[in-house]
Chains A and B, each alone.
Chain A
Amino acid sequence: NAGVTQTPKFQVLKTGQSMTLQCAQDMNHNSMYWYRQDPGMGLRLIYYSASEGTTDKGEVPNGYNVSRLNKREFSLRLESAAPSQTSVYFCASSETVPLSYEQYFGPGTRLTVT
Chain B
Amino acid sequence: LAKTTQPISMDSYEGQEVNITCSHNNIATNDYITWYQQFPSQGPRFIIQGYKTKVTNEVASLFIPADRKSSTLSLPRVSLSDTAVYYCLVGDLHAGNNRKLIWGLGTSLAVNP
Give the distance in Å from the alpha carbon of A53 to the alpha carbon of B50 in the complex.
32
Contact of A99 with B101 in the complex, beta carbons under 8 Å: yes
Residues 61-103 of chain B, each 1 if its beta carbon lies under 8 Å from chain A, else 0: 0000000000000000000000000010101000000111101
Number of residues on chain A facing chain B (CB within 8 A)? 19
The closest CB in chain A to the CB of B45 belongs to A105
Chain B 2-25 interface 0/1 with A at a Cβ cutoff of 8 Å (1 = within): 000000000000000000000000
Whether the pair A107, B104 counts as a contact (CB closer than 8 A) is no
Question: Do B44 and A101 touch (CB < 8 A)?
Answer: no
Shortest CB-to-CB span from A74 to chain B, Å, is 14
Residue of chain B at shortest CB distance from A59: B100
Q: Does B105 contact A (CB under 8 A)?
A: yes
Residues from chain A with a CB closer than 8 A to the CB of B99 are 98-99
Known pairs A40-B105, A42-B87; A102 contacts B46 (CB<8 A): yes
Across the A-B interface, give the 6 residue pairs with the lowest CB-CB distance, nearest first: A105-B43, A101-B34, A99-B99, A43-B103, A101-B32, A42-B105
Residues of B within 8 A of A (CB): 31-32, 34, 41-46, 49, 87, 89, 91, 98-101, 103-106
